[in-house]
């Protein structure tokens, strides 16, 4: 069994958990500054993924189609 000192060192400052009747964590309360940082990081990751996807799919068409479009 962990001591009180050990329990305190395992906690993240300002983060609180809501538990159900069985003690299972079901919700979390975060400081607003941490929440904003997490949202910003999630948005950045979404942008990076979209950029990676765009780079993998170059906007090109087959040469024969290009010639037809240009009337060649």
Question: Residue 36 falls within a domain, yes or no?
Answer: yes
In a domain, 17, yes or no: no
In a domain, 45, yes or no: yes
How many independent structural domains does the chain possess?
Answer: 1
pLDDT of residue 10: 56
- Domain span at 52: 31-57
Cβ atoms of 28 and 18 closer than 8 Å: yes
Q: Does some domain include residue 41?
A: yes
Residue 46, in any domain of the structure: yes
The pLDDT of residue 58 is: 66
Question: Does residue 51 sit within a domain?
Answer: yes
Inside any domain, residue 21: no
**pLDDT under 70 in the chain at which residues?**
1-11, 58
């Amino acid at each position: 069994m962990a001591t009180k000192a050990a329990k305190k060192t395992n906690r993240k400052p300002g983060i609180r958990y809501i538990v159900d009747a069985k003690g299972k964590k079901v919700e979390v309360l975060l400081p607003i500054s941490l929440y904003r940082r997490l949202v910003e990081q999630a948005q950045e990751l979404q942008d990076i993924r979209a950029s990676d996807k765009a780079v993998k799919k170059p906007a090109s068409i087959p040469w024969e189609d290009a010639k037809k479009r240009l009337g060649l």
